[in-house]
Structure 1
Amino acid sequence: MTTTELSWIATTLTAARPRAVAALLRYFRDLDTAEEGFQEASLRALRHWPDQGPPDDPLAWLILVGRNAALDELRRRHRHDPLPEGDDGDADTGLDPDLAAQLDQSHYRDDVLRLLFVCCHPALPLAQQIALALRIVSGLSVSEIARAFLVGERAMEQRITRAKQRVAAAGLPFDAPGARERGERLAAVGAVVYLLFNEGYAASGGTAHVRAALCEEAIRLARLLCELFPDEPEPAGLCALLLLQHARADARLDADGMVVLLEDQDRTRWHCAAIDEGLALLDAALRQRRIGPYQLQAAIAATHARAPCAADTDWAEIDRLYAGLERLQPSPVVTLNRAVAVAKVRGPEAALAMVETLAQPLSAYFHFHGLRGGLLTQLGRAEDARRAFADALALARTAAEAAHIRLLIDRLDTGGDGTSSNTPHAKDARCSIPS
């Protein structure tokens, strides 16, 4: 199997997973069975697609093969229990044309959003709702979800296991919730869509051929949330934020796969259509005068998008917006992001004072050490900066992130103690944090 074939199949499986698992869950009404069915279908795709070519509808193929594989497994476990009428358990004999045609219509198109609301059941603690949805719906690994929550893998694995056990023990319904229940679960569903996008965005360096699918799926779900809740400003703010962030995707890496900081990006490569859509959604949301966290984050991204060049960025406005976000939704990561704006407005010493207070909660966070190293470099503290960059390097999640940090360390070594004429400018010395 060639690298190109593997890449295409990986992309297809990543994009298909949410809808396929949702459809299988609707059929079996059991989380583990739905996951196992999709995993088996994926293995069979890896075996058959390189030789036989892709099916006309890969998603329908995965759903049907996953369904039949799961039925076959259930038959082995319960040999005396009759299978549903019409199911023979043969997963590889081809697709039923009538069923494939039905699946190709709108039969499964909104299953993912329905499944998100099912996973975000109030019987589960909020953290378990979001973790379960990210695992079941989005297929993120335990380590990826743990990084999103800034906790250890073991703790996250236990959290997801407990959530599954609660779902099974409580017999929670897998039917689509009504309008009132959807409203009650909106915040949790929005958080899942946000974290799904963040995982794709953060991991796109070096694996863009796979992770772009996560970003695009998150944007699709955010658009559906806007349609489902037209009178709520936060879904529109969320969708605007994702569009404005994703608009920069093509400019984030150079031809060699190296990270390009926001202020160094070629803005002609930003996607104007996505920016225009995001700005229109944000303006509509702000007119409702019910400000929420997603609207504030979208407003920060919009400030960058509206600047003709990096030098025209209104950093004072970004500082003000982050201050509002800190009041509305305080977190160490929000404060860390605000420090970037503070460095621009009030200088690196003021920003470093903010960053140093975050050492304990963000000790395992790549961007904390990267930004701290950049600020220390600007202040001429080369040895301290080198240690901070070394900590960041140990936490790099992608080859592009690691290469960027090594470049900063090399420049420190070239510039001696950071006081010579070769001292890197702030734009070179700090690690970019998505804004």
Structure 2
Amino acid sequence: MTSMTEPRPASVASSTPTAHNPRAPELSKSPLAGDAEKGAVGGGVEDVDDCPDGGLRAWLVVLGVSSGICTTFGFVNAWGIFQAYYEEYTLRNMSPSDIRLSAWIGSIQYALVFMPGLAFGRLFDMGYLRLPVGLASALLVACTFLTAECKEFWQFLLFQGIGIGLASGIVFSAGSGVVAHWFRKKLGLALACMASGSSIGGTIFPIILRNLIETQSFQWTLRITGFIVAAFLLVLNLTIARRLPPNPHPGPFITLHMFNSVTYCVYCLSLLVGFLGLYTCLTYLSLSGLLAGVDADLSFYLLSIANACSLVGRIGGGVLADRFGAMNVMIPGTLVAGVMTYAWPFAKTKGPLVAVSVLYGVSSGIFVAIMAQPLVRMGKVTEVGMRTGMAFTIMSFGALAGPPISGAIFDHTSKFENVGYFAGSTIMASVALMVVARQLLLGKFFGHA
């Protein structure tokens, strides 16, 4: 385990672009070399602008982070399977009001993926990486096994909602920051590859869970899943590493000076509003298929279809973002996600449900893959943890409130159409705010943003 000593004074350049030096950093001599928590390798401090933008070591970091996100964000994206299973089987003897509360388990998971961003993003800037990631990995595996033993609602809430959600958030926060250490010109592609882990996880975990539940007990389903999660997290812990030394002058743990930027504030607000509706479709897609009378097997696989197709959106969105600008790609992609959220409740048969799953998966994948890229480029690389962390913490409140609000709307109206109106409208409002943020950033209609 890398020691977490106080970072020694070092001169770290700002992220202002300069001539790119293609020389590979000394850290790349060994694919599994220790991270820069120890300070600069070889006694020198690597310049921020001496970014490798590729190479074995850099792509191993992306592989590791992607593996971690596969079993954190990707596992959380499989919540729709648990939601339908709990309401049909595990919690069926509970009162209707308690069953409605089950939506909070998934909602807390989604929120905690982003909520720890402020604290752990700041710790990342201060040089701490391996220890938080290692502890989060152990917590995630333990909570997966403990969920198998749960019988009461509060137990599911504690271990699956809070435990798995918090562990996922620590891994996601660390991953979002560390990739920016290794890439600049290809940052969009790298972040898209990183985010593809959640698509892969969101595809394979519903299939694994569905098939295991049919052949094994619920307890053994979670135990087997726990071993799968541990294998992916091992890859993460073996490959994740910082390239840059810690910020030599970290300042206070929390600072609000970034909110002096109107562009930053508007963009953060757009993320908050967007997440009020973004995960509603994924949360209730399988359940809506079941209630519409669609074959149960297909209803459960709709979530895997959506997550599989989001991989196309994530990789494609990342490539296009590097060429045309992240916000130029996010705005139309998120617009399509909003349209599909409006359309989803009106899909009552196999064909329309599959079509909505495909189109929603691709478009929402674009949003999730590159939402951090504008934040990374709004300031210094040495403050990337705080900047993205604060935005993710703000955004988490949208993820926390969105699914329960949608669930309450369905409970009072018994119509997913009304849920679609609410969720779709919040996504459209997010698009409008992105347009404003883009205009503030560029000051003109056309340009790379």
Return the TM-score normalized by structure 1: 0.30
Bigger relative CO (Cα 8 Å, ≥ 6 apart): 2
Task: Kindly name which structure, 1 or 2, has the bigger radius of gyration based on alpha carbons.
Answer: 1
TM-score, structure 2 length as denominator?
0.30
